[in-house]
Amino acid sequence: MKISFYLFVFLLTSFSVVRAQSPVGKWKKISHVATYDGTKFDSHKALLKSRPCAAKIIYEINSDGTYRLNASQSGCDAKYINIQEKLHSEEVWSVKGNTITIGHEKAPEVGHTYTFTIKGNMMTWVGTDGQGTLVFQRLP
């Protein structure tokens, strides 16, 4: 009986840890720090200066393995929305351990790979090939 109880507690704890690191959900980008010519800059902050509406763009990481950008409620102009949503219309994601890969439906194994951490409602991606660091905030 004692062993069954401890096994149950262990499995429940293990499931909670795995579930806590799931990126599934709706997120908004807070920053994207990159390095260009030896200088670090926040490309998302620069984008918001010219397109403040981009602050309302939602990144959807869906349980079916799709990764989508949803700008429909952002207030951006239709041309910008169409371009951005089309760019992300065939993206997929996969996770192995603490690594997330964003690829294309036709070649899911090819794409950008990041190590990721989730703390509370914040998720941080650190590029494994120089893509910089992205920070997202989970939306309710």
Domain boundaries, the chain: 23-138
CB-count exposure of residue 30 (10 Å: 0-12, 13-18, 19+): middle
Q: Is the pLDDT of residue 124 over 70?
A: yes
Residue 9's pLDDT band, with cuts at 50, 70 and 90, is very low
Rounded to whole angstroms, how far apart are CA atoms 75 and 53?
6
Q: What is the pLDDT of residues 66-79, one digit of tens each?
A: 999 999 999 999 99
CATH of domain 23-138: 2.40.128
Residue 107's pLDDT band, with cuts at 50, 70 and 90, is confident
Q: What is the pLDDT of residues 17-75, one digit of tens each?
A: 444 489 999 999 999 999 989 999 999 999 999 999 999 999 999 999 999 999 999 99
Residue with tokens 């799709």: 66
pTM, two decimals, is: 0.82
3-state secondary structure of 83: helix
- pLDDT score at 2: 57
